[in-house]
Structures are given as C-alpha cells and as structure tokens.
Structure 1
C-alpha cells in the first residue's frame, strides 16, 4: 500500500533531521566541492561534489521509505529484586513484516540509579524473525523504577542517517528491602501458628455451627456420636476441631523525627529491612500477619480477604519497597487499628521515643497476646554515641526501662547489630518481660 504524499513528506523531513555527523559531513563536503568546481571551472571536482552530496541524500530516501514493522517485548527476572542484588532484563525484537530490516540500534530507558543506559546494535533481522538481548540492572536503594519505553533507531548501511522510533510499552521493576533469614525461636505466650503449643478452636462454617451434625459420606466412623444417633434415629457425628490461625502485627515506626542517618546506612533503612524479615519469617511459620505503620495504614488492607503466605509476603514487600519517612509526631494514628484488630502477637520496630509515646505504647500491651519491641538507639547511627557515650544514652535507657515495666520484651538495637542475633534473644526477652509483669501484679 502506497502511503499518502503527506506521510512521505513527513518521513523525508524526519530522515533529514536524522542525518548523522558522517552524513552531514559528506553533504557539506559535496556542496563545497560543487561550489569550488563552479568557481574554478573544474568538471572532475564537480562530479566528485555531486557524488559526495548524493550519498547522504540517498541514505535519507532509503530510511524514509523503510516500510517494515517491528514489535518488542520485555521480561524481568525477577520482577521483585532485592536491594543490592542484580536483576536481568530480557528484550525481544520481532520483525513482523515481509522484508528484512537494516541495521537497528536499540536503547532502553533506565533510571540512572539502576546503571548506565543499555544500547545494542542488531545487524539484520529476517522477515518474521526475532532477536533477543539482555542487560543487568542493580540498585542499592529500594523503590519502584520504570523501565522503558524502548527506543529504536533505524540506520542506513553507511551510517549516514538515523531515525528514532519509540515504543509505548514500559515495565516497572520493584526493588524490595533485604530479607534476612531468622532462626526459629519459641515465641512463648502466644499461639505459634501450626507449630508447637498451637491453640485449637471448633470449626465454625455452615452446618458445623452446631455441636452435632448429620453423617456425611466419607466421615470417619470413629466420630459417630452413638448416643445422639439412638436419640435422633439417624447417624450423627461430632464436629471436628481445627487449629486456630495465629495472628501477628508488625508495627513499623516511619516518623522522620524518630530516625537518624541517611541513605542505605540510616536507622530507617535498618527498620524497614527488619520489618520485611520479621513479616516474612512469621508468615513462613503460619502466622496471619499484617504490617502497620504509624500513619495507620494496614497491609494487607482491611476487607482485602484471605491471602496465601506467598501473596501476603509479596504485598508487604511491595509496600515496604516504597515506604518513606512520615511527618508524624507520634504513634496515635496506629493505636486505633491496634485496639480494633491488634490481638495476637505485636512486634514493633521503634525509633526514638519520648516519655508520652512510651506510656501510650505501654497501655497497648494489655490488648495483645505478646509484645516485642526492637528499640533503635538512633544516636549510634550518627556516630555521636561513639564520641560521647553519655549523649542521649540516659534518655534511651529510660524508654527501654519504661517499656519493660509495661510488659514489653525489649531488644535494644544499635548501629551494626545483626538482626538474626537479636531475634535469637526474643524468647529470653519475653521471659524477662513476663517475670516483670508478674512481679508488678
């Protein structure tokens, strides 16, 4: 199909604007040679000038009349990359036309934090053929980063003219915080999911809302309640017990005034990685886990339905990938969600606290099945505590003591501490907290 004259004209104009340095040099040399030949009366130089000027113009016409169609696709492996680790991006270019392509120059749009912008050269793609290339990206900063759209530059065989065309499709790479493997410890004082000391409750669904129900094909005959069977004249079975799902809430303090340091080495980044590791560990152990921030935001959100452990882990990691410091002055916005649905195990990752905030957290302890606090000594993230250990140290120890007296199991955290080592001490800290709570009673 022949394109209309307007399309051909716009294509020629775009090709002229796409002349490379080589093409412009040939055109300028040709024009100069023609002018000199006219002034000096040299016919041989005139022919050379016409040849030099004609080459880039022929290249413009070749590129402007290119009629092949190209499609592209992008695949990320993995789609969720961990901060500090590499991900690979696979690009595929398909020639969906009936003619072979010329030289193709590919350039993908990549944020600077992921590395240099990748460029590739494809010599020729046969009709209905394809080519695949890949490149690596890496970021030490968590977040969501756009990839694309892919830009394609068409070139003539002599490299005198290039025309850029851009695809519209793009993808998003999610860089999540680092998740550390935590040791299995006994979380005393609460339900342990499907593990040891798990509580049981009667199944409450449909006909199981009554103590007995009619026999159904496939029921174990050992569950038949013979006394009721004789009374009602038909087989009756006892409803079975099912393990009750353990619940846990991980509270992340995102207040800007509660954290110190900057970049990946800040106390906030340590807290985010801690929240990701604890959530993943609890979900793996069978806990129904929610992430809660001081802004009052739940993940998964209320009314979102039941999710599997893998899906919930993905939702929480996606939320933590874009978690940012908040401008809140306290934790009051998180208190109401905890009062409504915060029963079970509560694990809080806390920044710097004042006396009032510690007191309000202490009141929440009675509403939970168990409470563990990672209390960050944020002064150690600035180096001030190393130069003057007494600077702010008394205030930190006062908040630590205040939470312990309220029944919290407190794990003090300083810059450079290992999260798996701290987690190993959770059971001992909880035992101490129970003893304090019993002595206070």
Structure 2
C-alpha cells in the first residue's frame, strides 16, 4: 500500500462466522440494564400467569422483548459498518509525527447508536486513541484522526481497529474487531552533511568519472528498457516494436562511483542502550551518510559486520533511477530495525569488502570506491581486520566509538587495558597506518562536524597516495 492510501480496516469480524453463533454472541453483549430488563420481563410474565393479570403480561412482554429487539438491530448493524485507516506518512524519522485518519461508513439502512472507536497502538507511540461518535445516519460517514510519535526507531503495527456499538437505551453493547492493520516504520534521525571532498578527483557524477561507451550504430545498437527520466529522443523504435515495450538506446553515460557504508553491530563493541547510546549514534550517522551519498549521485550499499548487504541485487549497489529510490528505502527500513549481532569479529565484513572490490572501483579498475565505516570497540585482532579492508587506491574513512567515553567511565590506560582493549589512539594509529582516515567519535559531538573534519584530515601514512572515493 502506498503512503497515504486508505487502508480497509473492515472485513468479517471474528464473531461473524455464522448467523446462529453471531446471535448467541450478540446476546452476551447485554449490559446490566439490558439483563435487568430481560429478568424483569420474565418475572412479570410469570407473575401474570400465576395471578391471571393480562395487563401485567403485556408489561412483561414489553420488558423482555425490548432488549431482544436491540440485540437483533445491533447484530445487523455492526456488520454493515466499514472502517478505513489512512497513515501519512508510512515512514518517518525518529522524533517526528505521523497522522492516522480513521473513517467509518454506515452502509446499512438503519442509523447506528452511540459508537466508541478504539485503535490499538504500541505504548511507545503514545496513549491508545479512543473516540466517541454520535449517531451515524444511513449511508453517512464520520472521520477522526490522531497523531503518533516515537523517539525509538523500529516497525510498529497500528491496529486492529475496535468498534463498540450501543443502542439508544443502553441495553446492549457489542464489540467489533476489524482484521486489518498498518505498519509505521520509524527510521533513524538523519543530519544534513556538508559537502566535502575526501581525496582524489572523481565524484558521484562529476568530472573525472569514467564513462561507458555503448555501440550506437543502427545495426549494433544495444537497447535497454525505458526508465523514468530518459530522454524520449533516445527511444529505439525498431526494438520497441520487436519487444513490445518502450526501449531506449544505450548512449555514452557517466558511471556512478561506488560507496559502501559499513556498520559495526557487534553487541560486545557497544555499551548502553536508548536513543542517546553509542550504537544509536552509529546507526543514525550511517543513515545520514547513506542519504548524503545518494544525493551526491553515488551507487551505495549498506554492509554490516555479519556480511549482510543491502541491496542484495545488482552486485549490492544501487543502480540509479527508480531502482535507486527503492533501494534507498530498503536500506533505511533495514536501519530502522537493525539490532546488535552476536558476532565477535569483523572477518565476514572484511571478506565482503575485499571480494566485491570496494576500493577498486567499477569492474575492478580504477580507484573510486569509497568505504565509510562506523566501528565500536576494536581490540588488536579486529583492528588488524579493519586495516585489511582498506585497499591501496581506495578511499576509506572510519569513525571509531569508544565505550569508555560514551559510558562516562574513566579513560585511563589501566582502565582500558583492563577491558582487553588497546588505547583509543593506538587503535586509530593502526587504522591510519593502513591508509584509513580514522577519527574518534566522542559523545556529544554532532556528526556533521566529524564529517567536516574527515574531509580536512590527512590520509594515513601507509597507502595514502592513492585517490579515494570522490566528493562526500
């Protein structure tokens, strides 16, 4: 379902499996007043039979029949009330609000009684919304709305919608639970990053990017499917007629530089939890980096320490156009639900980086592959694995988070060594010697400032003469 599209929250409720079963279920909806009326009617009927009072029998019949008539009327009405939910937008950053609009339509020929509407939402999105709606005329509709907000990223179900109907006399109260629900995706907060150039000459689409030349002759043309934004003057009509779909010529076009964003999710590399924890900062910084690089025209992929890559198709990199937008949404959805991994090392990520040619550009030639990593605590072994990811001729930028700094513990040498970790400066030096542009990511410093520092920082002493991944 597209964002903002109405979602049918109707459908057959769990109590509508059959007429007999539905009526028996509806009888259980008698309120205390309704049960009292029914009991009084039966008692009056018995007394009228014993005493031979016909007038009392009429009163008893009225008292007994009235609740039963209300049950029958509400039983028929509740299955002729349809509901829709509209969620706008369906993907929001943490701390932002989304609007939920509910609409009820009375499709029966009878007016409804008092309606009490309730939508189920997780507690992190706020209090459970409840609404009281007055009588809805036949064919009429009512619309209500509420807002949801979460400071924690994730995927949260909205629904199912619950509807309680009562008759004007308050004798019966029936509940209808709809079956459909929507999902609100809360993605990490992103920060606008400044334009910086790390090293090298090539950028996403700019000067220095390599270009691919296609065969442009009438007989040797290599067509491809039409994509949104293609110039209609490039349509190849002969191929269009042959394949039955719009085809365009492959002309000289710039190839987009590649960039990989590596996120270290190891549980043992971070301490603390909550919106202000080190891990949440790393997730938010990775999301900001992905958005920024996509805006600059890079082909981007998201990689974690487990070796999982998003997107999985197309060699793991976004391909541009509509596919790029869908891949960007997929990466943000992945970051919305990413959690700690139980892995102890970065070996899988190292294999994924080296096997896919990050740092070696398109097709294994050149040097415009950019690698940007967000690491937690690194011991000597993991520092060595991270150093292997940086390949000569490729740009590599690492932001290293230190648990001692983020947790507020003293950062003395004895304290760090007690945890089995080398000092932070030693970890950074090991990465810089391998060619990384490595920076510490202390608590309380905006990521945009660290991004600017990374663009101005000198590259490592070893392997630092090659060109890197272009404009940031």
Query: For this structure pair, what is the TM-score category when the shorter chain's length is used for normalisation?
Result: 0.7 to 0.9
**Structure 1 counterpart of 2:211:** 201
The structure whose residues are more often helix, as a share, is: 1
- How much does 1:325 deviate? 0.4
Distance 2:461 2:166 in 1: 75
Q: CA deviation at 1:199?
A: 2.1
Aligned with residue 401 of structure 1, among 405, 420, 429: 429
The answer as to 2:460 corresponding to 1:433 is: yes
- Consecutive unaligned residues in structure 1, runs of 5 or more: 1-5, 211-217, 220-238
C-alpha displacement at 1:16, in angstroms? 2.3
d(CA) in 2 for partners of 1:70 and 1:119? 17
CA gap 1:432/1:166 in 2 versus in 1, 3 angstroms: same
The separation in 1 between residues aligned to 2:92 and 2:174, in whole angstroms, is: 34
Compute the displacement of 1:70 (Å). Answer: 2.1
Residues 156-189 of structure 1 deviation map (CA, whole Å, 9 limit, x = unaligned) = 1122311112222211111101011111112222
Structure-1 residue corresponding to 2:349: 334
Q: Deviations over 1:6-64 (max 9, x none)?
A: 9554333222211234444655777899999999xx99999988876665444334323
Answering whether residue 209 of structure 2 is matched by residue 184 of structure 1, we say no
Q: CA RMSD in A?
A: 3.5
- Rounded to whole Å, the distance in 2 between the matches of 1:82 and 1:306 is 25
Q: 1:112 aligns with which of 123, 126, 139?
A: 123
Aligned counterpart in structure 1 of residue 416 of structure 2, from 369, 378, 392: 392
In the alignment, structure 1 residue 319 sits paired with structure 2 residue 344: no
Kept after mapping to 2: 8 A contact 1:198/1:243: no
Alignment CA distance shift 1:124-1:355 (3 Å):
same
Q: Tell me what 1:275 maps to.
A: 286
Query: 1:102: how far off?
Result: 2.8
Cα distance in 2 for residues equivalent to 1:364 and 1:7:
64
> Which runs of structure 2 are paired with 1:31-50 in the superposition (5 Å)?
none
**Is 1:244 the equivalent of 2:271?**
no
- Residue 168 of structure 1 corresponds to 179
2:401 maps to which residue?
A: 376
Asked if 1 retains the 8 angstrom alpha-carbon contact of 2:216 and 2:251, the reply is no
Conserved? CA contact 1:146–1:173, under 8 Å: yes
Q: Structure 1 residues 363 and 64, CA, compared in 2 at 3 Å: closer, same or farther?
A: closer
C-alpha separation in 1, matches of 2:203 and 2:444: 30
Q: Is the 8 A contact 1:108 1:117 kept in 2?
A: yes
Does structure 1 conserve the Cα–Cα contact (< 8 Å) formed by 2:121 and 2:128? Answer: yes
Q: Which residue in 2 is equivalent to 1:310?
A: 325
In the aligned structure 1, how far is the partner of 2:173 from the partner of 2:28?
A: 9
- Count of matched residue positions in the alignment of Structure 1 and Structure 2: 405
The 8 Å contact of residues 14 and 64 in structure 1, kept in 2 or not, is answered as no
Q: Secondary structure at the match of 1:14?
A: helix
Higher relative contact order (CA 8 A, sep 6+): 2
TM-score between both structures, scaled by the size of structure 1 = 0.81
Aligned partners of 2:197 and 2:376: how far apart in 1? 26
Match for residue 12 of structure 1? 23
In structure 2, the residue corresponding to 1:265 is in which secondary structure?
coil
Question: Are the structure 2 counterparts of residues 29 and 376 from structure 1 closer, same or farther at C-alpha, using a change threshold of 3 Å?
Answer: farther
Contact 1:68 1:100 in 2 (8 A): no
Whether the aligned pair in 1 keeps the contact of 2:107 and 2:138 (CA below 8 Å) is yes
> Is 1:142 matched with 2:153?
yes
Q: More deviation in 391-400 or 152-161? A: 391-400
Equivalent residue, structure 1, for 2:81: 70
Long gaps (5+) in structure 2: 1-16, 221-232, 235-249, 360-368, 467-472
Q: How far is 1:375 from its partner?
A: 0.4
**Cα deviation 1:294-330 (Å, max 9, x = unaligned):** 1111111133773434333211110101101000011
- In the alignment, which residue of structure 2 is the partner of 1:359? 384
* Worse-matched range after superposition: 183-192 or 130-139: 183-192
- TM-aligned CA distance change 1:67 to 1:134, over 3 Å: closer
Q: Distance in 1 between matches of 2:319 and 2:119?
A: 39
Distance 1:161 1:314 in 2: 48
Give, in whole Å, the separation in 1 of the partners of 2:120 and 2:152: 18
**Higher alpha-carbon Rg:** 1
Say whether the 8 Å CA contact 2:301–2:309 is kept in structure 1.
Answer: yes
Contact 1:190–1:370 (CA under 8 A) maintained in structure 2 = no
Provide, for residues 256-314 of structure 1, a one-character-per-residue CA deviation record: whole Å limited to 9, x for no partner: 01111112222111110010000000000111110000111111113377343433321
Report the CA distance between 1:414 and its aligned residue: 1.4
Aligned equivalent of 2:444, options 416, 420, 425: 416
Instruction: Report if the CA contact (8 A) 1:33-1:49 is conserved.
Output: yes
